[in-house]
Amino acid sequence: MKKIINNPADVVPEMVDGLVRSYPQYLRQIDGTTAMVRSDEDSMAGKVGLVSGGGSGHEPAHAGFVGKGMLSAAVAGQVFTSPTPDQIYEAIKAADHGKGVFLIVKNYSGDVMNFDMAKDLADLDDIEVKSIVVDDDIAVEDSLYTQGRRGVAGTVLMHKILGAAADQRASLDEIEALAQKVLPNIKTIAVALSAATVPEAGKPGFTLADDEIEYGVGIHSEPGYRREKIKTSKALTEELLGKLDSEFHFESGKKYAMLVNGMGATPLMEQYIFSHDVLDALAAKNITPSFTKVGNYMTSIDMAGLSLTFFELADDQWLDYLNYPVETIAW
């Protein structure tokens, strides 16, 4: 294992400290925690707070999306491990400015349980809290970490949509209703060329031969649905887009947003080549996405590979929300 770290046990606190000290214009660390809140707290007055988080190793998610127009706070757990309820609770308190707090939770058993426990703690303080559990990964059902589908890169689009609504002073009930409408319209699928190496484990979560790939892997190196010899970008496009088409039944008369997300070790050059092939395949169906993003948004430490997310824009306002200006580290 080759990593630029000190003690593996100190990876998360040192990362969080380096992050907030590098970007004080966006973030401050909540004392005694690895949770981070917007440093411009005065501007959150009169608005619903948005909190997300999860295990570390997915950077820039989630702290990279804390700021004006997106999240109010984010909680960093240990690597690939849910943050504890007390830390989530501190983030909820910091994000609450009298209008309630909405939690955006990826569908992993630990995250769902711990965010629910934090919600219960907030109830005791009379902080109104509601939530959505994002389950956008179409690759597998009931993985090692979940009941049902996993929450992956589509979670970032949920941050963006709800963040824009909150910044425009949508109520807690309105944000909950919006999240419930948006969720079934976001779908993601991934492919890996190599697995992630958790610093304290010191070895990859699984092993692929130099000429192998695996379809449908999760962001914690969970298994996918098929392993085979490496393919060209065009062949990967056919596989991933085909799986998404079986969910969406793409139509030229509908509007879509597209997110090509690097898993941590795939160069942007390759992500853009893949995007080129996806856009060509869509053009053959007479479809041009109304919104596109390419880059590293929800990674898996040093995994090589990428994920492809589509979001059917069933409401024209959703496109406005995607284009709404933000001030964050990563968007």
pLDDT in tens, 310-330: 999 999 999 999 999 999 999
Average confidence (pLDDT) over 70-95:
98
Provide the pLDDT for residue 202.
86
Burial 159-191 (b: 16+ CB within 10 A, else e): bbbbbbbbbeebebeebbebbeebeebbbbbbb
What's the pLDDT score for residue 248? 97
**Res 200: pLDDT:** 87
Residues 29-48: what's their mean pLDDT?
95
Q: Is the peptide bond before 60 cis (omega within 30 degrees of 0)?
A: yes
How many Cβ atoms are within 10 Å of 31's Cβ, its own excluded?
7
According to CATH, where is 3.30.1180.20 located in the chain? 185-322
- Report helix, strand or coil for 303: strand
Per CATH, the homologous superfamily of domain 8-184 is Dihydroxyacetone kinase; domain 1 (3.40.50.10440)
pLDDT range class, residue 144, cuts 50, 70, 90: low
Q: How far apart are the C-alpha atoms of 75 and 35, rounded to whole Å?
A: 4
Nearest residue to 135 (alpha-carbon basis) of 153, 117, 160: 153
**Would you say the pTM of this structure is higher than 0.85?**
yes
CA angle (276 as vertex; 283, 207 as ends), nearest 5: 125
The contacts of residue 217 (CB under 8 Å, 6+ apart) are 139, 190, 191, 192, 195, 223, 224, 303, 305
Q: pLDDT tens digits, residue range 83-132?
A: 999 999 999 999 999 999 999 999 999 999 999 999 999 999 999 999 99
70 — phi, psi (to 5°)?
-135, -125
Question: Catalytic residue at 58?
Answer: yes
Query: What CATH code is assigned to 185-322?
Result: 3.30.1180.20
CATH 3.40.50.10440 residue ranges of the chain are: 8-184
- The pLDDT assigned to 146 comes to 64
Mean pLDDT in the chain? Answer: 96
